[in-house]
Structure 1
Amino acid sequence: MSELHAHILVIEDDPTIRHFVRLTLESEGHESHEADTLRRGLIAAGTRRPDLVVLDLGLPDGDGANFIREFRTWSTTPVIVLSARSAESDKINALDAGADDYLVKPFGSGELMARVRAQLRRHLHQTPSGDSTIRFGELELDLVRRQLSKRGTLVHLTPIEYKLLTYLAGQPDRVITHSHLLKAVWGPGHGEDTHYVRVHMANLRKKVEANPSMPQHLLTEVGVGYRFVNR
């Protein structure tokens, strides 16, 4: 599989939307496979082993979040949710179940393909096990020395800031919910303390971003969490 030619499974019960998504994907050289129910989606995912899944939540035989939970028991393949549900609680539920991104209907072909490209890049170019350095912008994060430098000058990070940055940077282009960050950085007893994340993220941005009020790397997904972008 290459980013230019991926096998993508589209699970959507609306034939009009399914057709639109298929044509959009194929216009950029991808091969698409289709399913119109949760059960058929799971079968197709198991037999075809796609490089990416595009998933509707409102399927006739079950909630798409249930597909994600079952799929995540055996696959790390990226999942992009397409849904008419725009409530923050629905986004958080899907992302906590294991979705990588969430796009609200109606959506344009340009936005869909930008999300697809981002997830394929993340899946294809994850940091190799032997590579201990993550580079983004003018910054270099050394995972062995546990330090961040900007144009060769060390940037002091607190232990919490370092944990936040490494957790996000290790999963580029993926939306990480507040609850996932809290559990990963502070532990399972802090699942509701979202103000912890906001305070430390604000401090981290001051050290990482050229303009903290217009971040380029540590992006906010309003009401949901954060996304690290390597650019």
Structure 2
Amino acid sequence: MTRVLVIEDDPAVRRGVSLGLRHRGHETLLVSTGEEGLAELVASAPDLVLLDLMLPGMSGLETCRRIRAFSQVPIVILSARDDDVDVVVGLEAGADDYVIKPASTEVIEARMRAVLRRTAQPASSDQARTTHGDLLVDRVALRVLKHGEELALAPTELKLLLFLTAAPEQTFSRQQLLEQVWEHSFHGDYRLVDACVMRLRAKIENDPRNPRYIQTVRGFGYRFGPL
């Protein structure tokens, strides 16, 4: 059973999401503001957060940023705002996925499960710990260290790095990354990939504007290295 914190100010949406998830065996914790969401996150330690952007008081974006300041809990934004700017800004704030309302419970649950699986990937025995420049990637402990210091990576950031470092110098298209990391089998939203790469570069690169690790292959996608 997954414990889901739903931060949503619309009572009807909050109730509908809760009923749908509970019907599928999940536990839901319901709050209507970002401030309440932060307090509930600390008190109840949910497995995942469903977060609306349009909240009274503290905005959903600010709530997302504050959560990321102390927690790597998976965050899925659930919002009616579908403009490119809104989606990109939400992802850059630290969300792992972005679902546009209205969305069925089946879609919400599928995206939740995909995010939760990103931190439960099996490690190959011959590449359990690999070193790439200043980075140490531990696939068994699901940890990444830079200069010996552990990096705080969100679930999607971690899975993207694990995937890319498993095949150094191999170029992957954005669609391939969507399918393998986000588990979106349809022709998906490449903004998810680009925003996650940007966040990951900010954490692992010495100079994110001149990346050493995650390199862009223009017009196609990304690759890890060469270093």
Using structure 2 for the length normalisation, give the TM-score. 0.64
Note the aligned Cα RMSD (angstroms).
Answer: 3.7
Q: Residues of 2 paired with 1:197 and 1:182: CA distance?
A: 15
Aligned CA distance change for structure 1 residues 51 and 182 (closer, same or farther; 3 Å): closer
The correspondence for 1:117, drawn from 113, 121, 134, is 113
After the TM superposition, which parts of structure 1 deviate over 6 Å for at least 4 consecutive aligned residues?
none
Q: Relative to 1, partners in 2 of residues 1:130 and 1:180: Cα closer, same or farther, differing over 3 Å?
A: closer
CA 1:130 to 1:181, structure 2 compared with 1: closer, same or farther past 3 Å?
closer
Where 1:59 maps in the other structure, the secondary structure is coil
Change (3 A) 1:84 1:190: farther
Matched to 2:5, the amino acid is: L
Task: Find the counterpart in structure 2 of residue 6 from structure 1.
Answer: 2
Q: Distance between the aligned counterparts of 1:126 and 1:66, measured in 2?
A: 34
Gaps of 5+ in 1: 133-140, 149-156, 205-231
* 1:103 aligned partner: 99
Q: Deviations over 1:175-227 (max 9, x none)?
A: 33163466567942259xxxx4543428x7xxxxxxxxxxxxxxxxxxxxxxx
Of the candidates 198, 204, 208, which is equivalent to residue 188 of structure 1?
A: 208
1:61-106 deviations in Å (ceiling 9; x for gaps): 1210111111111111100001111111111111111000001111
Larger Cα Rg: Structure 1 or Structure 2?
1
Q: Percent identity?
A: 34
Flag the 1:88–1:190 CA change in 2: closer, same or farther, 3 A.
Answer: farther
Aligned pair 1:173/2:169, yes or no?
no
1:48 paired to 2:50: no
2:54 matched to which residue of 1? 58
SS at match of 1:17: helix
Does 1:69 find its partner at 2:65? yes
1:142-194 residue CA offsets vs partner (Å, 9 max, x unmatched):
95xx647xxxxxxxx46xx38x99xx69x932833163466567942259xxx
Query: What residue identity is the alignment partner of 1:55?
Result: L
Residue 91 of structure 1 is matched in structure 2 by 87
Q: CA deviation at 1:121?
A: 1.6
Unaligned runs of 5+ in 2: 129-137, 142-162, 184-191
- Asked whether the 8 Å contact 1:56–1:64 carries over to 2, the reply is yes
Matched position secondary structure for 1:82: strand
Match of 1:151 in 2: none
C-alpha separation in 2, matches of 1:182 and 1:142? 13
* Distance of aligned partners of 1:130 and 1:87 in 2 relative to their CA distance in 1, 3 Å threshold: closer
Local SS of the residue matching 2:181: coil
